[in-house]
Chain A
């Protein structure tokens, strides 16, 4: 028998809902204030320099954009790969993908030197630039995912939704390839210049997006008192474990490839051994706290079945992911350009030295604002439209899956 889950808006009348809305709204407003201040003054009030040209806002923006494409995975697994357990989660998955992308793009645009020229970015295209392609891919992703959601939610269009889901799935793979290639195609910098960054970003998106999805799902169901069964949750956390391991594999191959080539020994030594904050972030936050610990937690026979532990593991994946993007992005710029291989270099323009970066409060506020806007979009959307099934209890989701589990 085919199941038809019953979707319903959340009630949204509790104090908790208003506090959540108010808190997120406040963070978004603060971010807007930080943006106005940075734009009015110029970027001298930020931590960015001519050495570290992409700072904390880019860390947030890239994390959110990567996570956005990954958040759509849950819907894709249901639609494209026909796993019925995931189908009731499809609407939230699509919504989260749109919301995270909006949050990330907001941060990216508001950190431009000329955000007022957004129209220029939309009308002048250099088609050799992967950045220009990304602008098209981001906008297209929003459009494709909105259509996908519409086909999912509108009964009359239901018969086309598998096609729309397939288009969205392919589009998201291309989009994350584009985001990874923003770095992978930077031939001049030792930390980048590797085609492997594109698939690595895709697998990173799987992990980051799913971790956020699990947290949002758990929060939404717990705060609204709707049932969320173990069948769904355990399936998701097991999948998260696979994705964490896959990211670890890609990180390992990335560093091993660099370590094999003598020309990259300098940058590898910097990230893995002498890089100070970057080395600590890599080993302690990205690898230990952000990968190995959550991996052990989700697969542990008893801890892995505890809901607080699953939520904590998801949170750790997010923290580890932020650290990963920070190390790649800021660490990759902190390591000096190799303009004169074999030479020690000194100049008035910080050639040959490790560049320092300390993010300003304005940049962090803008970045946090991107997260707030993403969550605000989700909160408002599930209040006004039918995104969440009334029940995700085991017997409501998929009796066969529940039995098998």
Chain B
């Protein structure tokens, strides 16, 4: 008997809780969604600055012997085994694993390093033709049609994020065009992001259960990345340059 009434009570409590929450949400925020519904941006509409994409790299979770993010980027964007004549120093690298060791304390960490998708990208500032550009949503890209291959952006990038293609390429992927004599770098997997996807590196890190990479909209305070950034410390690389990078690091 008492068991039954307890069950009813808990069911009623659960119902009232939900109803109350729903009523509260309806009352305080009509027309506002607490989570953004997943609707891909139609191809004929421009990207907007309502979103700013970013990645948080938690180096505490980044495994030193793992380069799943690098492998995933190669597979997704078709670099890594396509340059047969170029020396190792000449081959493209869109993302790389870096090991750092503090000179005074001996602390060691590993992390992926790629285009930091700066709000004020030096590569875009110096590009003579405007081939280096930043989309409204913060993704920094190279327009391969007007890149003259002057490589000034590579001189200007503080993160050595860009590569120059030293030879003819074959079997390119349709969603990641590349070309001899032009400069390229991480696109934040723009082909995925534009279809509400996640960059390949982030997906691969999660698949490995490391979850060192969090991707999302920095302008949405309820996104996973914004909540993580608000919860604990993080830094920009070369913060002294005040570039306001889209990629941030924790644990170093």
Contact = CB atoms under 8 A, between A and B. Distances in A.
A43 B127 CA distance: 20
Interface string B212-236: 0000000000000000000000000
Contacts of A125: 128-130
A54 B151 contact: yes
A117 B159 CA distance: 27
B210 interface: no
B93 A43 contact: no
A215 interface: no
B158 A42 contact: no
Contacts of A340: 98, 100, 237, 252
Interface string B22-44: 00000000000000000000000
A53 interface: yes
A188 B241 contact: yes
B113 A129 contact: no
Contacts of B122: 186-188
A132 interface: yes
B198 to A, nearest CB: 24
B98 A113 contact: no
Interface in A339-375: 339-340, 342-351, 355
A114 B148 contact: yes
A337 interface: yes
A126 B129 contact: yes
B181 A113 contact: yes
Nearest to B158: A188
Interface in A312-333: 333
B164 A189 contact: no
A126 B162 CA distance: 19
Nearest to A183: B155
A42 B180 contact: yes
A188 B102 contact: no
| Max chain A Cβ within 10 angstroms of own Cβ: one of B122, B124, B158, B160 | B160
A113 B180 contact: yes
Contact of B85 (A42, A48, A344): A42
Contacts of B155: 53-54, 186, 189, 333
Nearest to B131: A124
16 contacts: A42-B165, A43-B90, A49-B87, A49-B90, A54-B155, A112-B148, A112-B149, A117-B146, A129-B152, A132-B129, A134-B128, A187-B241, A346-B99, A347-B96, A347-B113, A355-B89
A293 interface: no
Nearest to B150: A112
B187 interface: no
A342 B182 CA distance: 33
B247 to A, nearest CB: 12
B99 A345 contact: yes
Interface residues of B, number: 57
A114 B127 contact: no
A115 B147 CA distance: 10
A114 B130 contact: no
A54 B155 CA distance: 8
Interface in B60-89: 83, 85-87, 89
A392 to B, nearest CB: 42
A44 interface: yes
B7 interface: no
B202 interface: no
Contact of A348 (B97, B124, B148, B165): B97
Contacts of A42: 85-86, 165-168, 180-181
A344 B152 CA distance: 26
Given A49-B87, A349-B96, A351-B160, A129 B125 contact: yes
Among B87, B150, B156, max chain A CB count under 10 A is at B150
Contacts of A348: 93, 96-97
Given A114-B149, A344-B100, A44 B113 contact: no
B172 to A, nearest CB: 15
A381 interface: no
Interface in A76-131: 112-115, 117-118, 120-121, 124-126, 128-131
B180 A343 contact: no
Contact of B164 (A53, A117, A121): A53
A135 interface: yes
Contacts of A347: 96-99, 113
Smallest CB-CB A-B distances: 6 pairs: A113-B149, A113-B181, A188-B158, A49-B89, A42-B167, A44-B166
B159 A339 contact: yes
B156 A188 contact: yes
A77 to B, nearest CB: 33
B91, B100, B103, B146 interface centre (most CB from chain A within 10 Å): B100
Contact of B128 (A48, A129, A338, A346): A129
